[in-house]
Amino acid sequence: MTEHKGIHPGWNFDNSYARLPEALYTRLKPASVRLPKLVIFNDPLAASLGLDSPALRSDEGVAVLAGNAVPEGAEPLAQAYAGHQFGNFTMLGDGRAVLIGEQITPLGKRADIQLKGSGRTPYSRGGDGRAALGPMLREYIISEAMHGLGIATTRSLAVVSTGEPIIRETEQPGAILTRVAASHLRVGTFQYAAARGIKEDLRALADYTLHRHYPETDGEENRYLFLLQEVVKRQAELIAKWQLVGFIHGVMNTDNMALSGETIDYGPCAFMDTYDLGTVFSSIDQQGRYAFGNQPSIAAWNLARFAEALLPLLDDNEPQAIGLAEEAISDFGVIFNRNWLAGMRAKLGICNEEPEDESLAEELLGMMHKHRADYANTFRALTLDKPEDTAMFGTEEFTRWHELWQARLGRQEESQESSQQLMRSSNPAVIPRNHRVEEALEAAVNQGDYSLMERLLGVLSNPYAYTSEQAEYSALPESCGGPYRTFCGT
């Protein structure tokens, strides 16, 4: 390890957030940990960030990933934000995370480098500022799986175990995740600025967000309305993608909705197995607020909170501002539906548009619900032209539906081959199956064996490849042993 000492890891920081009004963050260093050990590292991501893997894997590099050393050019800080958590408004902030700095990549992109689990901050409230190894590895797996699926997401660069136990329901090994994000601006960041009531800070934040994520404001009459419209659009596109792959976020609080349009904060998330709009995995979501089928309406609700925070900037006349906000929010449903239907057409190999396509898709979903079909595997079977592998096979209604579908495909100009190609690139051959994720985490956390996790990550990195290994990983567990439950593990 020591042979790489002195090699420059390639940190190239420009810390724009640290130039925002000071009320929006607190400068502080991450806390030190006793015995940092790198347990997983993302070489391709490091390369795309312009970072040198061997240098980061060296003791000096790991010290940075553990929060024990601050690299040159970094300006560590914890961000302030607020949020509606399960509907209740609270002032929050990075209670266990520190933004190290913004890395400018070789392609000139800006990426937040954040340590999650890095110790207490002024926003920790009652928490210990720490994170457990299992949940950090879980975030690593699911976020990288989402990236493989082609869904906008924060990424995971590394997990370091700290050598320090942390107390949850049981004692668990502590860990720090290095999270990479387009930014950590959230709906909750605006709620925080709005709640403080200083309009100039709110304006600075809005200008910053526009500049960083939505810079094409030329010719826009009302740039803050444009910001709202663009955030609505990106969220509608994102949530449509979640619904199409069966991803359940689990804790869609407004502080967990990123303004960049990336999926953020992998807590009790999981992929749906049996198709059911009511699916909830999270143990803390007793009311099913964040159930699979509720995600689009919750996203719209969260965006309405964003619009509320922006009201003072939308128009000096409040009724006028409210009218603009309402109109922008009402677009969410339209954009979501358009994206969802386009995605469903692709999942069914349909290349053009007919008015009955939506009912064709809905009919299939209705049958899947009735027959408790596995969501991903049903589309996988249709893609592989193996209808006999679906739970509905042999029923009269499915036979009729299958004929209608085949007739529909026959009415388009595209060849059968290109239609099948479209299905292959729209229906993942594999998703992070809950039992596979648990199996990998169990081996890693309890045995220190990361081979299962490495293999799982490999299988998930290109989920549209349809390899034989992916066939193995698409299998359901032999016995389910009751409903799957996920925990925040905070």
Q: How far is the CB of 486 from ligand AMP (least distance, A)?
A: 12
Residue count, binding to ligand AMP (CB under 6 A): 18
Single out the segment in contact with ligand AMP by CB under 6 A; choices: 88-96, 290-298, 320-328, 355-363.
88-96
Under DSSP, is residue 162 helix (H, G, I), strand (E, B) or coil? Answer: strand
Give the C-alpha separation, 366 to 212, whole Å. Answer: 42
Residue 129 near which of Mg ion, ligand AMP, none (CB within 5-8 Å, type-dependent): ligand AMP
Applying CB under 6 A, among 10, 30, 129, 349 the residue interacting with ligand AMP is: 129
Q: Which stretch binds ligand AMP (CB under 6 A): 15-23, 122-130, 378-386, 398-406?
A: 122-130
How many C-alpha atoms does 22 have within 13 Å on its Cβ side?
2
Residue 251 CB, shortest distance to ligand AMP, in Å, is 6
Per partner kind, with CB cut-offs from 5 to 8 A, the member of ligand AMP, Mg ion, none near residue 134 is none
Give the one entry of Mg ion, ligand AMP, none that residue 222 binds, where binding means its C-beta sits below a cut-off of 5 to 8 angstroms depending on kind. Answer: none
H-helix or E-strand spanning residue 231? helix 223-245
The entry of Mg ion, ligand AMP, none that residue 122 binds, CB within 5 to 8 Å by partner kind = none
**CB neighbours of 170 closer than 8 A, spacing ≥ 6?**
none
User: Among this protein's residues, is 255 annotated catalytic?
Assistant: yes
Instruction: Check: CB of residue 84 under 8 Å from CB of residue 99.
Output: no
Q: Distance between CA 223 and CA 213 in Å, rounded?
A: 13
Q: Which of the stretches 57-65, 126-134, 189-197, 219-227 binds ligand AMP when contact is defined by CB under 6 A?
A: 126-134
Among 60, 94, 144, 230, binds ligand AMP (CB under 6 A): 94
Question: Which of 60/255 has CB closer to Mg ion?
Answer: 255
Torsion sign over Cα 313, 318, 321, 326 = positive
Which of 93, 135, 173, 261 binds ligand AMP (CB under 6 A)? It is 93
26 binds ligand AMP (CB under 6 A): no
Nearest residue to Mg ion, using CB?
265
For 374, which DSSP code? B
From 52, 201, 255, 285, active-site residue: 255
Beta strands in 105-222 (DSSP E): 110-116, 131-132, 155-167, 171-181
For 67: left if phi > 0, alpha if psi spans -120 to 50, otherwise beta; the answer is left
Which span sits near Mg ion by CB under 5 A: 59-67, 74-82, 117-125, 256-264?
Answer: 256-264
Q: Is 467 in the site for ligand AMP (CB under 6 A)?
A: no
Structure tokens at 363: 């009919």
Please list the alpha-helical segments (H only) found in 169-317: 187-196, 199-213, 223-245, 295-314
When asked if residue 256 is in the footprint of ligand AMP (CB under 6 A), the reply is: yes
Indicate the burial class of 222 (C-beta count within 10 angstroms; 0-12, 13-18, 19 or more): middle
Q: Does residue 265 bind Mg ion (CB under 5 A)?
A: yes
- Which of the stretches 47-55, 128-136, 228-236, 312-320 binds ligand AMP when contact is defined by CB under 6 A? 128-136
Helix (H, G, I), strand (E, B) or coil at 22: helix
d(CA 349, CA 115): 42
Q: Which residue has the tokens 């797996």?
A: 141
Binding site for ligand AMP (CB under 6 A): 92-96, 123-124, 127-130, 251, 255-256, 265, 267, 488, 490
Active site residues per annotation: 255
